[in-house]
């Protein structure tokens, strides 16, 4: 289990070669945090020049090139949220 390092709105840059030749160039903005998969935190990210979102796992993010507004990782960061709705826990299903 990994502690989430980034919050919604943070700017990230992927490690080189993450998506091979089809990888985005430039920075992306975290749109939402997704449930963990195989012990890694996942994010939905919108990259510059793309009109869709990508699923990115935390180990694929270049820590030195990315910016994070989070100081305290974990529950303390989530408790500072002004909304009582936890957007990361909302799931949608097809009908």
Q: What is the Cα–Cα distance from 13 to 3, expressed in whole angstroms?
A: 19
Higher pLDDT, 31 or 78: 31
* Amino acid 5: pLDDT: 84
Q: What is the pLDDT of residues 25-41, one digit of tens each?
A: 788 999 999 988 888 88
Measured between alpha carbons, how far is residue 65 from residues 11, 26, 75, 82 in Å? 9, 10, 25, 28
């Amino acid at each position: 289990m990994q502690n989430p390092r980034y919050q919604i709105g943070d700017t990230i840059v992927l490690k080189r070669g993450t998506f091979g030749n089809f990888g985005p160039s430039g920075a992306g903005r975290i749109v939402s945090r997704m449930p963990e998969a195989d012990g890694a935190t996942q994010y939905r990210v919108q990259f510059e020049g793309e009109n869709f979102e990508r699923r990115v796992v935390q180990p694929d993010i270049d820590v030195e090139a990315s910016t994070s507004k989070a100081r305290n990782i974990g529950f303390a960061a989530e408790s500072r949220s002004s909304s009582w709705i936890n957007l990361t826990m909302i799931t949608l299903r097809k009908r």
